[in-house]
Amino acid sequence: MALRTLSGVQSSGRLHLGNYYGAIREFVRMQHEGDALYFIANYHALTSVKDPLQARQLTFETALAYLALGLDPNKATLFRQSDIPEVTELYWILGSVVPMSNLERAHSYRDKIENRGITNPEFGLFAYPVLMAADILLYDSDVVPVGKDQKQHLEFTRDWATKFNVAYVTGYDPQDPTGEKSKKAGVFKLPVERTRDETAVVPGRDGQKMSKSYGNTIDLFAPDKEVEKQIKSVKTDSTPPESPKPTENQPLYDLLKVVLPPAAFADADKAWRTGGDPKTNGYGYFKGLLLDGYKQEFGAARQRYNELMKEPAEVERILKAGAEKARGYAAPVIKRVRDAVGL
Ligand code: ADP
Ligand code: TRP
């Protein structure tokens, strides 16, 4: 069977450089290998977006972003999570093998209640990783490209899939998950994550991880003026323009490394380290380089985004066709699950 790649992005805000380099760029690359399924996690977004008009608008914008950044609906299957009813069914069924203790120690959940001021968390936030596991297992996914922060969710997914397989398939051997020797394949395939070390965590303007909930993003599709403002506000220190600059804990340096093509970065790196002419070695100059690099990398996508915005019916058609295809992938899996548990 062809290698199957699956991933999703929550439609919970404007997309930023972290989302692109940490996830979507890899989606675009992987659409050429085997079956590729990419969805808009709009059920997950309900844990943070409580306004219905905004929820719908952000779902649409995430679809535009996928298409504008290079996902081709003739190659990849693009769909909305909420168009696949089987996913919530599987989520419930998985719930009966998921230990609460796993969810209690989930990094993303702990981060939200410990660092982001959520004092009375809702069940949906707590159960978030179970729905994510359902997203992955429902389509017999082999590979899941995600940012580093999602690794633990993938570990949970494998653990729960194994637990389910052991519980419901007599003779299933976790050491032999494909059932090569035992002839007992699991109900679920075990997926692996794919992260890239060089861009595993894209820093935000303040040097923390770039994240919409930290308000430190450089957005992919914000108006020009706003992007310029965001780039200008990347945090720097007080090293004088003519002096060599430190490279540690410098979000501007790290962002240049991520955004500029390698040859352009090599030049910038040299100027950064040597200092000299204040015109070409001050932080203002490097911010200009970052803006130029950003325009080069995303100019065409930004234009496509604006064009697609005028074609909501076409976007809807693409998502509907994608959902139909995705349900075709889900059908045999949900049948195996229902048979296994006795529904
Ligand atoms: P946010 O932190 O802004 O809420 P999401 O959690 O919606 O972003 O992330 C969507 C995808 O983008 C995930 O695969 C995530 O790992 C990746 N991602 C988000 N921020 C970054 C970052 N700063 N660096 C690398 N990848 C990121
Ligand atoms: N949790 C992911 C994020 O915040 C989004 C997501 C939901 C996802 N379901 C998924 C990613 C399944 C990969 C596979 O980015």
Q: Residue 279 above 90 pLDDT?
A: no
Q: Give 201 Cα–ligand 1 centroid separation in angstroms.
A: 8
Percent of the chain with pLDDT over 70: 100
pLDDT recorded at residue 339: 98
Tracing tokens 């389509």 back to the chain, one arrives at 139
Pocket of ligand 1 contains residue 210 by CB under 6 Å: yes
Condensed to tens digits (0 to 9), the pLDDT of residues 146-195 reads 988 899 999 999 999 999 999 999 999 999 999 999 899 999 999 999 98
pLDDT recorded at residue 195: 87
Average pLDDT over residues 312-322: 98
Q: Backbone phi, then psi, for 193, in 5-degree steps? A: -85, 160
Using the atom order of ligand 1, give the atom closest to the CA of residue 146. Answer: 14
Domains and CATH numbers, the chain: 4-202+312-341 (3.40.50.620), 224-305 (1.10.240.10)
Catalytic site includes residue 212: yes
Are 268 and 37 in contact by the 8 Å Cβ rule? The answer is no
Residue 25 exposed, middle or buried by CB count within 10 Å (0-12, 13-18, 19+) = middle
Q: What's the order of all strands across the beta sheet hosting 143-145?
A: 77-80, 35-41, 4-10, 143-145, 192-194
Catalytic site includes residue 112: yes
Condensed to tens digits (0 to 9), the pLDDT of residues 102-155 reads 999 999 999 989 988 888 999 999 999 999 999 999 999 999 999 888 999 999
Are 132 and 153 in contact by the 8 Å Cβ rule? The answer is yes
Confidence of residue 200 (pLDDT cuts 50, 70, 90): confident
Rounded to whole angstroms, the Cα distance separating 15 from 9 reads 9
pLDDT recorded at residue 194: 92
Q: Three-class SS of residue 243?
A: coil
Rounded to whole angstroms, the Cα distance separating 307 from 102 reads 44
Q: Residue 278 above 80 pLDDT?
A: no
pLDDT recorded at residue 289: 97
| Average pLDDT over the chain, rounded to an integer | 95
Q: List, in sequence order, every residue forming a beta bridge with 6; answer none if it has no partner.
A: 37
Residue 115: Cβ within 10 Å count: 10
pLDDT recorded at residue 330: 98
DSSP codes joined into one string, 143-189: EEE--GGGHHHHHHHHHHHHHHHHHHSTT--TTSTT-TTTS---SSP
Q: Give 17 Cα–ligand 2 centroid separation in angstroms.
A: 17
pLDDT recorded at residue 117: 83
Catalytic site includes residue 181: no
Q: Residue 277 above 90 pLDDT?
A: no
